[in-house]
Amino acid sequence: QNITQTSAISFSATPVTTAIPSATVPLDTPVVGQGDYPPEQYLCDQGKNTTYCAGVLLQDVQLAGLFPDSKPTNGTLNDTIAAFNALGSNVTVGQIETFVESNFKGEGLDLEQIPIEGFVQNPAILDNISDPIYKAWTSIVNSYWTLLIRETNESSICNGNCDSSLIPLNHTVVVPGGRYHEIYYWDSRWIIEGLLKSELYDYAWNLLQNMMDFIDAYGYIPNGGRKYYLNRSQPPMFIQMLDAYVKVTGNTTILERALPLASTEMEWWATNRTFNYTSPFTNKTVLVAHYAVNNSAPRPEGYVEDYETVTGTTPALNATGKAELYSELASGAESGWDYSSRWCKQPVLNVSDNNPALRTLNIKAIIPVDLLSLLAGDHALLADMYDLHANSTNSTSSSNSTGILPPTANSTANSTSNGGSSANATYHRQQAQAFSDAVLDLCWDPVKSWFYDFNTTSNSRSNVYTPAGAWPLWQNITPSELVNNETAALNFVSGARFLLGRYSGIPSVASLLYTGLNWDFPNSWPPHLHTTIKAFETLGRLYPNASTLSNLTIPYSQVASGQLGINETALQPQPASTIGNVSLQVQEAQGKPWPLALSIEYANRYLGAAFCSWYSTGGAIEGLLTQLPLSELNATGTYTAGQSGVMFEKFNATDTDAAGGGGEYTVQVGFGWTNGVVLWAAGEYGQYLPAPTCPMIPIIEMSNNGTSSSYSNGTTVNGTGSIVNATSGNSTSSILFAGYRIPRDDWKRAVEEQ
């Protein structure tokens, strides 16, 4: 892979491999499943038959098991189908391997890295970061955009003549990284947050233009930029992104194109994903939404996994049952939470096999609290932006030739002479109110003091505690109980305070159930760190004079009754072996009003996890931080030669420097939303965050009475963690630390040690 470096800071590329088809069974083995193909999926690429949509070719290739990961390869010629048909029936794995080798290009080649124009080496957020290591590291993360910004490589898709899975886009994209070589919808929400902090406004603009092109072409924004994603969306974040862009840049000219398209997207959700529901609590009919994908075949990008989930049931499912489960699986992917016990009828705790839990998927019957909150927030922001646009187009005095205005947040101006935007604003405010009412009616539990999903099968609230319950406050939906009652507000955050003390990693863990699914314990995802802090910030605005707490963390017994939905004894342990020397709270949060103190603590955990996992996978900072010696890097199990620190897509709530795991693919590195949230958290809370402490867990023999040990490269680490240069004898920094790692494969093993 060619890496274009536009920054003086040295870093190495996220390793990207192009998988070579490689059979795992004898080549003359017949491909399984022949003769039993799913129905044609009309929605895939708008009814056009492609090699990437459900059909004989896709199934035979995927079930031949040539790749360790089911993501389809990219790029092929139009006569591929003819070549495939020439194979005839009863094909073998060997025939498919040869066919793939000669007809498909490697994945990830259709988008190429490009030099960033206008890269800002030292964006203003760096001035806000007090710790020198965090400052230097944030600057490195800032430069990682050079690895993730891509544009369509026309030649790799034969200038549009290849039958490629890529949806070609007119503007640069930012990919998440790893196996994700294409744009992703909801990831882009946090990527844009980071681009704005990095002052890469043009790339944020490009991203928004791509989103608008999607709406123009399809009426909605697909899950990602591949044709096989054209039957579903992801959490509707476009309006949130647009709002963030306009507020930071003050550029309202984008609204001219964006507002009608944002309305179109909202209409798509209204037409395809909303329904009315009678509340069992108030008997009122409320407007609700769900994830619900019309699909009766395996997800092309998870073909083997879905096929095995659906065909491995006992007793076997009939055609209707199969179609229904395929639809549930696709709907889970639309939620972005693919997959979670949140969506299951039975939260099966089987960490080594996802299938039993997935066979109980019931997501279409669930009204997700985060989706409902997001739709409420989207409509509210859209109404404000209609007003803002009306004001800016009517005002000549405040407008300049480029249309750049000062940021105008939460405009409520009432305009009547703007070609109908006032009516639009009124409509969207009504919609916002309707969704907000539904959140408060169905999802808010005043006794448990938290928001939960609503399950239409049981006609009751779910009792699975998740960080999705923080989204209503993020979107400014506040129950009356939380207003003017600080005790009630503290009750709301009681679970968050407990988890802060209970686990050493990022406390906004996806759920408290350890199921082996991607969006369950112990995985903590960057979006939830951001949205949980945003909820704390809302409380900070509600309680500007909030008290300071002598103990921010609390025992389980002080958590609002039933809030966590799980007994203390059933909670997963915090393995002592993964804490090391990490202190669970930071000095800088003390004496602050509790909403701010919580935000600082959560931001600290996040930066600690992202930084320490980067460091333990080879990260180094010239002049400040020496790379760990090879013996220790190798012990982490996530180091490859030449690597200089990776950014994981998700983290482990019980371990400061470990990635999350589980799910249907191995943990990915890159990583768009991780970097975005680092830049956001460092920019917003960097002035409070102390020097990172990574776990000092010795794996090599200690010397000097156990206070120091020698690295093979001649560096020594003293008892305080300062790294000392062997030749000069000088400590390179007085605030450094050492990250000794325990040899372990993953979190599971650490828990087993308990």
Ligand X SMILES: OC[C@H]1O[C@H](O[C@H]2O[C@H](CO)[C@@H](O)[C@H](O)[C@H]2O)[C@H](O)[C@@H](O)[C@@H]1O
Indicate whether 302 belongs to the interface with ligand X (CB under 6 A). Answer: yes
Indicate whether 243 belongs to the interface with ligand X (CB under 6 A). Answer: no
Q: Whole-angstrom Cα distance, residue 205 to residue 246?
A: 10
- C-beta of 299 vs 592, nearer to ligand X: 299
| Edge-to-edge strand ranges of the sheet holding 716-717 | 709-710, 716-717, 723-724
Q: Whole-angstrom Cα distance, residue 75 to residue 322?
A: 30
Tell me the sheet residues that pair with 166. 226
Tell me the sheet residues that pair with 641. none
Looking only at residues 214 through 233 of this chain, which bind ligand X when binding is defined by CB under 6 A? 223-224
- C-beta of 255 vs 344, nearer to ligand X: 344
What are the residues whose beta carbons fall under 8 Å from the beta carbon of 692, sequence distance 6 or more?
131, 133, 134, 607, 608, 611, 612, 737
Residues 336, 235: contact at Cβ < 8 Å?
yes
Residues 252, 245: contact at Cβ < 8 Å?
no
Distance in Å, CB of 336 to ligand X, minimum: 4
* Pairing, β 450-451 against β 444-445: antiparallel
Nearest Cα to 142, choosing from 669, 605, 680?
680
Q: Near ligand X by CB under 6 A, which window of 297-305, 347-355, 583-591, 731-739?
A: 297-305
Indicate whether 187 belongs to the interface with ligand X (CB under 6 A). Answer: yes
User: What's CA 31's distance to the chain center, in Å?
Assistant: 35
Q: Whole-angstrom Cα distance, residue 488 to residue 494?
A: 10
Indicate whether 186 belongs to the interface with ligand X (CB under 6 A). Answer: yes
Within 13 Å, how many C-alpha atoms sit on residue 438's CB side?
29
- C-beta of 186 vs 498, nearer to ligand X: 186
Select the residue interacting with ligand X from 131, 301, 453, 632 (CB under 6 A). Answer: 301
Select the residue interacting with ligand X from 144, 180, 454, 492 (CB under 6 A). Answer: 180
- C-beta of 67 vs 180, nearer to ligand X: 180
Select the residue interacting with ligand X from 333, 440, 443, 470 (CB under 6 A). Answer: 333
- C-beta of 180 vs 606, nearer to ligand X: 180
Indicate whether 336 belongs to the interface with ligand X (CB under 6 A). Answer: yes
Site string for ligand X, 611-650 (x = CB under 6 A): --------------------------------------x-
Indicate whether 265 belongs to the interface with ligand X (CB under 6 A). Answer: no
Q: Whole-angstrom Cα distance, residue 164 to residue 145?
A: 25
- C-beta of 436 vs 508, nearer to ligand X: 508
Indicate whether 194 belongs to the interface with ligand X (CB under 6 A). Answer: no
Please identify which residue in the block is written with the tokens 């020397």. Answer: 581
Q: Near ligand X by CB under 6 A, which window of 294-302, 471-479, 569-577, 654-662?
A: 294-302
Select the residue interacting with ligand X from 518, 531, 578, 643 (CB under 6 A). Answer: 518
Distance in Å, CB of 273 to ligand X, minimum: 16
Distances (CA, A) of 499 to 116, 507, 602: 40, 5, 10
Q: Near ligand X by CB under 6 A, which window of 155-163, 184-192, 198-206, 265-273?
A: 184-192
Indicate whether 651 belongs to the interface with ligand X (CB under 6 A). Answer: no
- C-beta of 59 vs 478, nearer to ligand X: 59
Distance in Å, CB of 148 to ligand X, minimum: 12
The dihedral formed by the CA atoms of 126, 128, 131 and 135, expressed in degrees to the nearest 10:
-10
Distance in Å, CB of 594 to ligand X, minimum: 31
The residue sitting closest to ligand X, measured at its beta carbon, is 333
Nearest Cα to 51, choosing from 26, 31, 27, 81?
81
Query: Which phi and psi angles does 744 have, rounded to 5°?
Result: -160, 155
**What angle is formed at CA 634 by the lines to CA 632 and CA 638, rounded to 5 degrees?**
115
Q: Near ligand X by CB under 6 A, which window of 88-96, 182-190, 541-549, 594-602?
A: 182-190
- C-beta of 338 vs 655, nearer to ligand X: 338
Indicate whether 110 belongs to the interface with ligand X (CB under 6 A). Answer: no
Q: Which helix (H) or strand (E) holds 147?
A: helix 145-148
Residues 6, 120: contact at Cβ < 8 Å?
no
Indicate whether 190 belongs to the interface with ligand X (CB under 6 A). Answer: no
Indicate whether 467 belongs to the interface with ligand X (CB under 6 A). Answer: no
Q: Whole-angstrom Cα distance, residue 653 to residue 671?
A: 18
Residues 337, 343: contact at Cβ < 8 Å?
yes
Select the residue interacting with ligand X from 176, 595, 660, 690 (CB under 6 A). Answer: 176
Select the residue interacting with ligand X from 150, 181, 299, 502 (CB under 6 A). Answer: 299
Tell me the sheet residues that pair with 276. 287
Residues that bind ligand X (CB under 6 A): 176, 180, 184, 186-187, 223-224, 299, 301-302, 333, 336, 338, 518, 649
